[in-house]
Structure 1
Amino acid sequence: MTGTSKELFGFLASKVSDFINDHLGEHFEEMKTRTGEDEHIFKLGFTFSFPINQTAVNRGTLLRWTKGFDVVDAIGKDVCLMLQEELDALDLKTHVAALVNDTVGTLMSRAYTFPGNHTTVAGVILGTGTNCAYIESMPAITKLDHSAQPDAIANVPNMIVNTEWGAFDDELLVMPMTIYDRELDGHTPNPGAQMFEKRVSGMFLGELLRCVVADLIDRNVLFGGRSSTPLITPWSQDTSVLSRMQADITPDLETVNNIVTREFEIPSCTYDERVALKTIVDAIGRRSAYLSGAVISGLLRHTKSIGGPRPVDIGVDGSVFEFYPDYEIMMREAIAIALGSEVEQAISIGIAKDGSGVGAALCALVA
């Protein structure tokens, strides 16, 4: 995704305009006549799922792009001000009241929609990208200057922290680096960055599969060495291909065979080749889920959330968690390995459907 910041934020403002026109229409025009020229009618919660330096509830400068975006002239600028300028240009009477990372929104949405005896300690995104926000005790946040406002900080026991865990271990001190990870990384606009995300999130799983299959064809291991345009074209496969293969429980793996002929454009494949593909898919999906479970385990251990007065709950949003077959089961396997099966069974993990949007609305409401 390339272009200019004006094009990007102008497009976002146009979508806000469409929403207002579709749902308010003439009523909005009547409301405008009752407000001053510089007055706003609506508060907007702005979900922005990229690394920022947030300095206020509705102020934050973009640090870098992820997930394939590369709008260079936006880096270092305040994303709220850029959106506000485009909203004002369309006279939408809308104020950007809260800037919210999608993980923070997911945490808030889950806590709001899942009340009860549980304590929601984290919001996790497992979709096109991956990230997490969690509740941290204020004394543990050493980045803050606690001497600047000691009274205010003393009265706020906790703060939500956006981890940007997609960039965990970019130095690859812990995670393995396969030849396929290296090839995929070279196809991205940010090589060497977001290395955890490139092993976990939905944007990259299909490309990993393509890299593996293409290599095995080159080695004459699959399909008699026959390749095709989709298999030599980066980003031609998406995560839905893996999901459908993973879900195939037919005796002859007919779904896998159909994907080979229709998506890979390979005329035919043997049963053994289908089994091999299913094994590759399982390895890619399992690694993603196990890495997700590992970082969740580390977060719970760091915050000492387990064993408190209330059971721990984690809200998750994203297509990989919601639709990839057995993803939560595999993720829980990793948590059980790290923390023990009793701890894993005591943790509640649930979908916060459209959590980033709902959470942003909640933040705007109270801003």
Structure 2
Amino acid sequence: MTNFNQKISAMQLAIIEALRLATGQLSGNSREQTGAQHTLADQQDDRATVKQIERTRMDAMASAVSGASSCKIATGSSGGAIITEANATKRAITNAQNKWAQGDESMPSSLGQDPAALALLDAHCKKYATAANVAAGLCETEGDIPGGDIAVDESIFMQTDNATYGISEKRMEAANAFIANVVNPAPKTTVSDAQANTPEGRILAQMKNASNARMSISNETMAYLAAQVHRKKDGKTIDWAQGIANEIPGFNAAVFDDGVANKDFLMLQSRQFLLSPQWAVKSDKDEATAIKEVKNILAVIAYQGFENYQLLERIATNLAAQTAILSEQSPLTGRGL
């Protein structure tokens, strides 16, 4: 009897265990099926999200390229005309300064150092005399641009209306006089015909040539800086510049009626993305505008990079010339010029 009861108990336990295992298997299968359904749903959601993002991005890019708001930066003929004008101005200033240094017949410097110095002073008194000059009896009346030929912030680095960098034609003349005063206020005397036929005179002529070569580096660098503030009068570019300036707080006083200088062109291109609240709001609300802004910023950075490269070229050239001059003037090397 005992054995029979034990067998019944064992069978009951076996049945219970079988039922428990079966229930667990069903639960596991159910969990796996539910998990698979969730995974599939997640994947479908992810694909839909990615598809929507890509669609939005493509629509925004298309709008950025062809939309009405895609012309925020000045490029093409307008920007190219400003750069071409700056290059032509630099060339003209450089040629004039080199003629001054070399004692060209058209320049007072051809008569010698003293006449050259007096010519600069005469121009100063006529156009750029200061109140101090008049008080000292050096000049009769104060000039139209006091200190224009002796103060960099009155010519090359003059900021009209405290906002723009382009200067008037009169201040461009002052910039020319300023460069002469800075780089070569007393050009070396030209070798006379009589001296040219002597060994000493020929050596003197070569020393003057070397001096002129070194002066030409400084002349070109200063001319490059002056050319950046020479205004180019172009209606389309003026409208663009005025429109951008009106959007930037603090630049409302900027006036471009007389044209846009290359320095102003670069300044507006650089600052508009940061300082224009109107475009900042648009970029935050509209994907197309944001992508367009990134595209335009990259274009401006590329342009700035080349401008920086040109400036670095001039810095390197000036440093090389300075090194040569210092080495030449050293007591351990040859004589200086």
TM-score of the two chains, using structure 1 as the length reference: 0.27
Which protein is bigger by CA-based radius of gyration? 2
Where is the strand percentage greater, Structure 1 or Structure 2? 1
Where is the helix percentage greater, Structure 1 or Structure 2? 2
TM-score of the two chains, using structure 2 as the length reference: 0.29
